[in-house]
């Protein structure tokens, strides 16, 4: 879809929140399958872009960089497809999500209900 958005000249801002893994899956059931190869998503979008159309990407790691990227996307690059990858800590999640993961884990560990 990113390729089509760029090709069709959409002036969209996409934020990809990258925590480097599956935090909620770890909370439900931890295992080595939750360790994933972290991609360079901005480079992937640049490869799709390949110099055709208007595309701007940024990778941000702190609030100051995010504010700057949003400012750029809504001003100088407002005529472009904008892709902002936001790097967050792998455990950056809400307490509600962690609690939900614990409840799902408990439900998943029950023996099957005989029919």
Instruction: Split the chain (115 residues) into runs of 10 and give each run's mean pLDDT.
Output: 93 93 77 83 95 95 98 98 94 84 80 66
CA neighbours closer than 13 Å in the CB half-sphere of residue 15: 12
Per CATH, the homologous superfamily of domain 1-102 is Thiamin diphosphate (ThDP)-binding fold, Pyr/PP domains (3.40.50.970)
CA distances from 36 to 2, 8, 23, 31, 108 (A): 22, 32, 11, 11, 22
Residue 112 has a pLDDT of 65
The answer to whether 46 touches 21, Cβ cutoff 8 Å, is no
Residue 49 has a pLDDT of 94
């Amino acid at each position: 879809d990113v390729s089509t958005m760029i090709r069709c000249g959409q002036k969209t801002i996409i934020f990809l929140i990258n925590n480097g893994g599956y935090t909620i899956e770890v909370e439900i059931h931890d295992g080595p399958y939750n360790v994933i190869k972290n991609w360079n998503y901005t480079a992937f979008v640049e490869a799709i872009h390949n110099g055709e159309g208007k595309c701007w990407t940024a990778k941000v790691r702190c609030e100051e960089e995010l504010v700057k990227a949003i400012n750029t996307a809504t001003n100088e690059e407002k005529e472009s497809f904008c892709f902002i990858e936001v790097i967050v800590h792998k455990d950056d999640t809400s307490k509600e999500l962690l609690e939900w993961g614990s409840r799902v884990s408990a439900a998943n560990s029950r023996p099957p209900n005989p029919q």
